[in-house]
Amino acid sequence: MVKCFVILLSIVLQCYGEKYQVVTRKGLIVGDRHDEYTTFLGIPYAKVNEENPFGATLEYPKFDRPYIANDSSVICPQVYFNDNGTIQCLQLNIYAPNTASRNNLMPILVWFHGGGFAFGSGGEYGGKYLVKKNIIVITVNYRLGAYGFLCLDNPQVPGNQGIKDQIEALRWIRSHIVHFGGDANKVTIAGESYGGGAVDIHLYSKYETLFHKAIVQSGSIYVTEGIFVKPDYHAAIKLVTNLGYDVTTTREALRILAKLNPTDVNAATRNMSMVLTLCAEKQFKGVQNFITENPFALQNSDRIDGMPIMIGYTSQEMLFEFANKPQSFYDNMKDPFTVQIEKTFALSKKELEKISSIVRHFYLGYKDLGPEVELELSNFLSDFSINYGAEWSTNRYVEQGATVFKYLFSYTGASEYMNITDAGASHTEELKYLFDWIWAAPLRNPEQLMMRERMIRMWANFVKYG
């Protein structure tokens, strides 16, 4: 049996075969040793207050026995696709090179998953490729749906709790990552889709400095698909009413919701098509807010000035909405130009008709809706839903003095839409080249493997050097 002991100041690292132990101020954490890296999966960074699972976290207590960190399957309650979430879900996963130590601290990539603030988890994104480039990779769970994004006229649930969970994860990293060989002064936060929007909003945070670089993938706080919404102060009452309860106050509603199975709460959210995302919080005395103003009014030159920020998107973000659909799909479709413009701008009927006609002609010319214009429709929805917001964010960064790196991902080597000529890359396509992503098939083609190598090298170099 291989045995090794390393004592470095306040930390003790012990390696017994394939198990690896780290002594932290919270107690002993046991991970799994691999050939080139070590994983510590499912480490709790905070505790949800079960009396108020929609509000501020509690500090996680010290471990009274070795914590076996080998399970990344815990997920927060999900609005869509999965009913297996649990309230006590605030965990993170660490991938650390075996050469990382207190004498050889390595820069850190912290990943916030996408999923509309309604589904997803950190455990879906394995870091085994990026970690081989001598960076520490950390993926994070945060609360979703009502548990993370109720925004109420109530000091116990002012809003944006899922983003505040991310802040708690960053604070945990600042305090503990040195024990895993990580440099708390070289933290890059990154995310895709709504995870990218979360990174964007963190750039305007008034909280203490918890990161030093940022990567925004296919996201922005300025996207039109509802990442930032007007608070619905009656949302808690609406949820319990949908579940058959008769209440008149938010306090009563929260008391009932706290006792309900999360599956039922999320079912009610789905039933009402309730959109729960970022909001401008109402200010309460003694309550630390995250954001209290419209994103277009946000400014934080002190944080952003000089910060390296990488931002970009795929070449056909919304292709998945139209690719390979039959004519019947288009025959039953409401005019997408009118739908998107109407829900975004306050226009009279006459103005809506005129502007929709102009925009439609810009993208389609005189063509009718049908499979032959799937790329043109994708271009429109991509521009309208994601690209414009990302460009707006880019301009804001430049105005405030950031060092901005821009990318466009268009590689289609492993795309499911390769049958479409000149299709380009759809939403999330880049993720399979960065992570061991559970939603992607293994890459086997030499060209695809070469693309992965290029992607992880570029992302890791940004984390290391900016």
CATH code, domain with 103: 3.40.50.1820
- The residue among 306, 300, 312, 310 whose CA lies nearest residue 463 is 310
* Least confident residue range of 2-11, 28-37, 191-200, 243-252: 2-11
In this prediction, residues 138-150 reach a mean pLDDT of 98
Rounded to an integer, the average pLDDT of 90-96 is 99
Check residue 226 and give its pLDDT.
66
Whether the predicted pLDDT of 1 surpasses 60 = no
Provide the annotated active-site residues.
Answer: 193
Residue 259 domain-assigned (yes or no): no
> Which pLDDT score is estimated for 225?
63
Tens digit of each residue's pLDDT (9 = 90 or more) over 350-408: 999 999 999 999 999 999 999 999 999 999 999 999 999 999 999 999 999 999 999 99
**CA angle 185-219-275, nearest 5°?**
115
pLDDT, greater one: 92 or 301? 92
In sequence order, the β-bridge partners of residue 11 are: 8
Q: For residue 351, tell me if it sits in a domain.
A: no
Q: For residue 136, what are the domain limits? A: 41-59+71-232+274-333+369-466
- What is the value of pTM for the model shown? 0.93
**27 occurs within a structural domain:** no
Given a cut of 90, is residue 4 above it in pLDDT? Answer: no
Q: What is the pLDDT of residue 53?
A: 98
350 in a structural domain? no
pLDDT at 344: 81
As a three-state string, the secondary structure of 316-340 is CCCHHHCCCCCHHHHHCCCCHHHHH
Distance CA 28, CA 378 (A): 50
Establish if 357 belongs to a structural domain. Answer: no
Res 115: pLDDT: 96
- Tell whether 35 is covered by a domain: no
- Is residue 161 a part of any domain in this protein? yes
Averaged pLDDT for residues 176-185: 98
The per-residue pLDDT for range 191-226, each reduced to its tens digit, is 999 999 999 999 998 888 999 999 999 999 998 666
CA dist 371 and 397 (Å) reads 38
**Strand 67-68 vs strand 27-33: parallel, antiparallel, or unpaired?**
parallel
The answer to whether residue 247 is domain-embedded is no
pLDDT digits (tens, 9 = 90+) for 419-451: 887 789 999 999 999 999 999 999 999 999 999
Alpha helix segments (H runs only) across 93-160: 145-149
Could you tell me if 309 and 397 are in contact, meaning their C-beta atoms sit under 8 angstroms apart? yes
CA distances from 225 to 73, 155, 291, 339, 387 (A): 29, 27, 19, 12, 12
- The band of 2, judged by pLDDT with boundaries at 50, 70 and 90, is very low
Number of domains in the chain: 1
